[in-house]
């Protein structure tokens, strides 16, 4: 599950890229559960916006 926040100063455990925060999780859950977990963190599920972002995620 990939989560993203919108804060340039990322919390511990999150990675910063282009003024966004990304949380990489290996936990496998249903989409609704992932969405709920994101909301609880003040984030949203990632929707990739560019090839550059895709490349970042792939090498994250």
Domain count for the chain, please give it: 1
Q: Domain span at residue 55?
A: 2-59
List pLDDT tens digits, range 7-46.
Answer: 457 889 989 888 888 899 899 999 999 999 999 988 999 9
| Helix, strand, coil percentages, rounded to 5, for the chain | 30, 25, 45
Q: pTM of the prediction?
A: 0.77
């Amino acid at each position: 599950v990939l989560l993203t926040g919108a804060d340039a100063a990322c919390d511990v455990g999150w990675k910063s890229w282009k003024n966004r925060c990304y949380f990489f999780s290996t936990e496998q859950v249903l989409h609704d559960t992932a969405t709920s977990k994101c909301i609880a963190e003040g984030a949203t599920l990632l929707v990739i916006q560019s090839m550059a972002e895709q490349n970042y995620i792939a090498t994250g």
